[in-house]
Amino acid sequence: MTAPNPFDQQKAIPGVKHIVAISSGKGGVGKSTVAANLALALSRKHKVGLLDADIYGPSIPRMMGCLNQKPGITPEQRLLPVERHGIKIMSLGFLVEEGSAVVWRGPMLFKAMDQFLRDVNWGELDYLLVDLPPGTGDVQLSLAQKVPVAGAVVVSTPQNISLIDVKKAIDMFQRVNIRILGLVENMAYYIHPASREKMPLFPKGELPQYLKEKSISKLGELPFHPQVGMASEAGIPLVQSHPDSDEAQEFIRIADELDKILM
């Protein structure tokens, strides 16, 4: 007898059109920042949900300014996502106190992902963005096995140290048959305050060659700009707080690009 294929459990979430993973092999490259701002950019035309699947370090509640809110419960005992800036949000950060560590093994992570995907009343959504933790572990695998994922947006910074981990993430998605929608290069440059020139923040590595080799398109480039970080820190991501800034406009352009690919 052959072993059951774990991908056979894949089931769509009723009412949810496109599940998009925001991922990177590497920590701290701006996945959550990109997820939050893309969610806001997409919500200008669509109904959007944002699932913070970073079980170990949920940062979406703080970035979206809803840290002290709690999900409601329906009479059928389903969780109601928190609504903020027009986005439906679910995160383990609503359920455990900030600063307390979650120490879970694989089976518990699988169960938590199951509940986030199935026991949350997402309602009708055009997009459900899933902010993944760094790495290529149980959370990523459980998402791939449980639901049909429309594709993954991979976030990277330009240098080779980041690329090593990005390659692993892309390899993982390809093994589990998740389409790579494209790459967002974050902290690609900064604008020199005096000369207004684009300056590299990190050494440029082999990212362009790698993307070409793999036929992966670059969805966009974001500069390092303190305003991006400050907006997240204040709980109002830049697309909401400064929609006319160049950086917010780039997020909006990337969202339009995704829309073209998926809609």
Ligand X SMILES: Nc1ncnc2c1ncn2[C@@H]1O[C@H](COP(=O)(O)OP(=O)(O)OP(=O)(O)O)[C@@H](O)[C@H]1O
- Residue whose CB is less far from Mg ion, 133 or 223: 133
- Residue whose CB is less far from Mg ion, 47 or 141: 141
Per rule CB under 6 A, is residue 228 in the interface with ligand X? yes
- Residue whose CB is less far from ligand X, 16 or 34: 34
Backbone angles phi, psi at 155, to 5 degrees: -105, 135
- Residues 47-106 interacting with Mg ion (rule: CB under 5 A): 59
Q: Among ligand X, Mg ion, none, what binds residue 142 when CB lies within 5 to 8 Å by partner kind?
A: none
Q: Which contiguous run of DSSP H or E holds residue 17?
A: strand 16-23
Distance CA 209, CA 135 (A): 22
Per rule CB under 6 A, is residue 157 in the interface with ligand X? no
- Residue whose CB is less far from Mg ion, 23 or 241: 23
Counting residues that bind ligand X (by CB under 6 A) gives: 19
Distance CA 12, CA 66 (A): 28
Per rule CB under 6 A, is residue 134 in the interface with ligand X? yes
Q: Among ligand X, Mg ion, none, what binds residue 208 when CB lies within 5 to 8 Å by partner kind?
A: none
**Residue 202 CB neighbours (<10 A):** 15
Please identify the residue of the shown chain whose CB is closest to the bound Mg ion.
32
Residue 54: helix, strand or coil by DSSP?
A: coil
Distance CA 155, CA 221 (A): 10
Q: Which of 20, 21, 23, 33 binds ligand X (CB under 6 A)?
A: 33
Q: For residue 34, what are its two tokens?
A: 């990109």
Distance CA 120, CA 88 (A): 10
**Residue 39 CB neighbours (<10 A):** 32
Chain positions contacting ligand X, by CB under 6 A: 27-33, 54, 57, 59, 134, 186-187, 222, 224-225, 228-229, 232
